[in-house]
Structures are given as structure tokens and as C-alpha cells.
Amino acid sequence: METKKNKEPELIADRQALLRTFITPEREEARATLLKYMEQVLFGLHDFLIQHVGITQEKSLMELSVYFQDSNISKNPEKKLADVIKDLIDDIAPHAVNVASPYFIGHMTSAIPFFMVHLKTIVAALNQNVVKLETSKVVSVVEKQVLAKIHKLVYRKPEEFYEEHIQNTYTTLGAFVEGGTSANLTALWVARNIVFAPKGDFLGIESEGLQAAYKAYGVERCVVLVSRRGHYSLRKAGGLLGIGNQNIIPINVDAKHRIDLECLSQTIKDIKKEGKTKIIAVIGIAGTTETGTVDPLEKMAEICSENGIHFHVDAAFGGPVLMSDKYKNLLAGIELADSVAIDGHKQFYMPMSCGMVYFKSPTIMDAIEYHANYVIRPGSVDLGSKTFSGSREANSLILDSALKIMGSNGYALLINHGIELARRFADEINKRTMFQLVTTPMLNILTYRVCPPEYMKDLSSGEPENKRSTNKKLNEINRDVQRIQREAGKSFVSRTLLFEGNNSEDRVVVLRCVIMNPLTDMKIIKEILDEQEAIYKDIVFEQENS
């Protein structure tokens, strides 16, 4: 990698150059470079990524960072467009990560259909700002329509409901936000404001803040209850909303990593008995980040309804499973949630970044409504009145177009492939003596670890001390295998640390796979496992015994 300095005469920033730069590629050369790469990006995305992205030998971030030490903005233009594009393709792309590779099965960020790049380009070209009607016009009503489509996918309300609300300027079925983190935050923001709504002289928590709210309601703290597998974004929301992140209370999980319902009920009972704590929300997870587990949503909804608690479902990952007739029952009960978070950039295969939050009640978002004199006036279609972001891009155009191009059956093919391949992957692990399946996939995420037969024997000896020290050794082995495979650059699985059951002392390093790429198949999965076996036998085992 090199930092190319311009060898041509110094470029000047004058009005003539500015107008040229603003309106059209400066020269024929720039135009030719643009066309060359854009043609590849738009019509040969797959080959383009293989050819240009993530193809270099591993260079550490430390080595790369040497090239990025200059904090000065040059007074005059440094480079022409053609040179900048060349630099991006030649110097940056090879050191980026080819998340589109079918061998990249470690994260929820994966390949996207090529047409998403076309749609994103058009959205950028239109540059609509959906915060207000005056900068988006028809896009605002498209957005309301898309919100209704996904709301219907989740809540399945009768037709009359959608006729009433789809373009109603006083009601809101949900909002497009930045991602799952912002979707969860928005849902909890609404839930917090409903719990501490205005009463008597108290103007509500949004106006008067936490201290006045606690005083008005006679409480000392408030909490959110979620399984131990909850995403860390919920703790961020706890901090931002003033609840305190330690009041995002982790509830134990059962052997299948689902929330323990008895423990949840008992915690609610204890909190109610104590009398000084308000429960802002209980959160069910439809696709936990680490294990892809779906909580028992129906039962959780029942518990919340009996206790008058806001029930939020974090379906940032799992939400689009609803597109699959074959597997949507895995999310049964999601329609009972008061709010639901879904990411567009995960299993709707949209480009970064897009999140959404939906609410059962079309008026509940009034609890976070803001107005200003110059925009988002009461009763307008200005969508920014009920989102915490102000200006934002028209992601709804991308999702709407993708839904038209794919249809729910098209998305179902992707979803079914992920779930079914993950199951076959699990079977393959069970067949191999070098591995141990740690979590059986409910959706398309599974975890396992390298666990050679001699270690397996130690684990099943039943001695807790023995087991703990074996796990410690296995943790080292799996850390090494994952790192060496990543650095080799052909395949990628991620790793995480799971507690065995609910005991924080028994931590197990696991290899984690998320199957999203439709080009990933059993042949590739077997190759990935073979490579891990070889890394263990040829490198890790050798190092241990040298």
C-alpha cells in the first residue's frame, strides 16, 4: 500500500474548477475511470468484490495506520476524481473485508444483492431528506406505505386498520432509524415516557426529567428486563435514557438459551413487592446475537399483559423470518409485542445502514413527538416529528424496491436457505469427532468449538474442577484456531464467549457462524471445518506440544 502524492502541477480551487467538479467529471480521464469502475460495481458486483476487496495478505491495523497519520486538510485540491477513485479501489478496498464472500460466515453483515447498489446510488442521487415533507414530498408517503407493509407482516391487523392509518398524518405505525441500536432505543424511549406520563401537575418525564418523574410516581429507580443474551445496545439505551445501564437486568436463560420464564415471573413479582421500582419494559429476543435463539414470545407477552408491562421484541436479526411461510411460526407471539425492532441491513439484505421500529398502537409514538416552527408542524406528514434523528436518507425507497424485486417468496428463499444450511452444518459438526456443537441453531446462527476426543473425555468425567481447567485449555485452542483462520484470509467465522448455563465462572469460547450468503453451501462449510481441523493439528497442537 502506498500513499500516492500528486505529481502533476498543483491543483487550484477556483470558481471554474468548483463548477466543473460540482456538475460533471472534470476530464475525459475521470469519466473513463468512473465508468470503468461503476460498470463493474453496477453490473459485475460479485466479480468486482472478488477481484478488488480483501485480497491482500494480512496487514495488521498497526501497519496500516502508519499511512493514516496526516490530520491536515489541504488548502488546495490534492487529487482529481479519477485519482481518488483509483486510490479507493487500489489502496483501500484490498484492505477492507470482503463480507460478500461465501466463506465469510462470521457475522450478520454479509453479501447484498447487486441491485441494492443501484438503489442506493439512486437514493443518493435524489438526496431526499425524509425529516420533512418540504425536502422529500412523495418519498414521505412512500415511507408511510412501507411502514404499513412491514407493520402488517408483524402484526397482521385487519385491512381496515391499514386503510385508516397508512397515510394518516396523525398516527404512526413505526419509523425508519439508523439500525437495531436506535430501534431498541426508540422503543424504550417511548416505553419510558408512557410509564412516566404526565399526571396532575407533573408534565411527564420528557419535559421534567428523571428526578421529577421518580418523585411524581414515588419510585426510586426503573428497570428493563431482558435475557442474559440481550444485545449490548440495550445497555446503551439504559445509559442514554437516564435509567442507568446496570438497571437493564439480565434474566437467566434455560438450557436452550431462551429466557427462563419462571425466573422472569419471579423477578417481576419481587420488584412489585418491593414497591419502589418501575419496570419500563420486558424485552423478548427474536434471534439473539450470539446464538440466534428466539425467546418464548407468546408466553412473555402473556406475562407482560397480566402485569401491565410494555413488551418489546428485539427482532433486529430475526424479524425477516416472517417472510418465510415455512419458518415464520418460529417467531410466534411477535404480533403481541407493543414494539418491535427490525434491521434492514441484516436479513432484509439492505446496504448499511437501516433499522426500523414498529408499534402495535398507532398513537403510542405521540409520547416522543417534537415540533418546531420551521418544520415538523403538528398534523404535517413530516416524519421527523417522531424520530430522534433529524435529517436522514430515504431508506424506505430501497426497502420498498427490494420488496418489489424479491417478493416475500424471494426473501423466503434466502431465509430458508440460511436456516436449513445451519441445520446441516450442525449435523456435520455432530459427525466430526474434532468438534462439539455448543448451540443447536433455531434460526441461522450456530456455535461450536474445536474439542478433540481427549478433551471431550475430560469434560464428561463429571469433575467440576477438571471440567473448568479443560474448558480453559479449549478456550485457548479455539481463540488460536479462529485467529489463525482469519489471518489466513480465506474463511471467516467469528468467536464469542458464552456462559455455560447461567454460571459466569464457566465461560466457553465458541466459534460462531451466521449463514446468510445464498452462495454458501455444504461444500464450503466442509472446507471451513477441514481448515479448522488442519489449523488445530498442524499449528495449535504442535505449538502446545513443542
Ligand X SMILES: Cc1ncc(COP(=O)(O)O)c(C=O)c1O
- 314 touches ligand X (CB under 6 A): yes
Q: Give the residue, chosen from 25, 355, 362, 384, that forms a contact with ligand X under the rule CB under 6 A.
A: 355
- Measured between alpha carbons, how far is 107 from 24 in angstroms, rounded to an integer? 38
Residue 107 has phi, psi (to 5 degrees) of -140, 175
How far, in whole angstroms, is CA 436 from its chain's centroid? Answer: 27
- 179 touches ligand X (CB under 6 A): yes
* Nearest by Cα to 229 from 162, 163, 182, 293: 293
Q: Give the residue, chosen from 136, 181, 227, 387, that forms a contact with ligand X under the rule CB under 6 A.
A: 181
- 517 touches ligand X (CB under 6 A): no
Name which of residues 363 to 392 contact ligand X (CB under 6 A).
none
Segment interacting with ligand X, rule: CB under 6 A, options 209-217, 248-256, 284-292, 493-501:
284-292
CB 186 to ligand X: min, Å: 12
Q: Which is nearer to ligand X, 25 or 355 (CB)?
A: 355
CB 343 to ligand X: min, Å: 5
Does residue 303 contact residue 223 with C-beta atoms inside 8 Å? no
- Residues in binding contact with ligand X, number by CB under 6 A: 15
Q: Give the residue, chosen from 132, 228, 231, 495, that forms a contact with ligand X under the rule CB under 6 A.
A: 231
Q: Which is nearer to ligand X, 132 or 392 (CB)?
A: 392
Measured from each CB, the residue nearest to ligand X is 180
Segment interacting with ligand X, rule: CB under 6 A, options 65-73, 187-195, 282-290, 537-545:
282-290
- 289 touches ligand X (CB under 6 A): yes
Does residue 131 contact residue 392 with C-beta atoms inside 8 Å? yes
- 233 touches ligand X (CB under 6 A): yes
The residues, any chain, with a CB within 8 Å of residue 239's CB and separated by 6 or more, are 245
- Measured between alpha carbons, how far is 296 from 315 in angstroms, rounded to an integer? 13
- 358 touches ligand X (CB under 6 A): no
Segment interacting with ligand X, rule: CB under 6 A, options 159-167, 285-293, 402-410, 524-532:
285-293
Which DSSP string do the residues of 516-545 spell out, in sequence order? --TT--HHHHHHHHHHHHHHIIIIIHHHHT
Identify the helix (H) or strand (E) that includes residue 225: strand 221-227
CB 315 to ligand X: min, Å: 8
Q: Which is nearer to ligand X, 180 or 362 (CB)?
A: 180
Q: Which is nearer to ligand X, 233 or 532 (CB)?
A: 233
CB count in 10 Å sphere of residue 545 = 6
- 108 touches ligand X (CB under 6 A): yes
Burial environment of residue 528 by CB neighbours within 10 A (0 to 12, 13 to 18, 19 or more): buried
Q: Which is nearer to ligand X, 231 or 386 (CB)?
A: 231
Q: Give the residue, chosen from 189, 196, 317, 359, that forms a contact with ligand X under the rule CB under 6 A.
A: 317
Note if the bond before 353 is cis, omega within 30 degrees.
yes
Sign of CA pseudo-dihedral 402, 408, 410, 415: positive
- 313 touches ligand X (CB under 6 A): no
Task: Please give the angle made by the CA atoms of 142, 144 and 150, to the nearest 5 degrees.
Answer: 105
Contact pattern from residue 1 through residue 30 relative to ligand X, giving x for each residue in contact according to CB under 6 A and a dash for the rest: ------------------------------
- Measured between alpha carbons, how far is 267 from 275 in angstroms, rounded to an integer? 13
- Enter the C-alpha cell of residue 241: 435514557
Q: Which is nearer to ligand X, 336 or 443 (CB)?
A: 443
Q: Which is nearer to ligand X, 227 or 485 (CB)?
A: 227
The residues, any chain, with a CB within 8 Å of residue 248's CB and separated by 6 or more, are 223, 224, 226, 230, 234, 235, 237, 238
Q: Which is nearer to ligand X, 136 or 517 (CB)?
A: 517
Q: Which residues bind ligand X (CB under 6 A)?
A: 108, 179-181, 184, 231, 233, 285, 287, 289, 314, 316-317, 343, 355
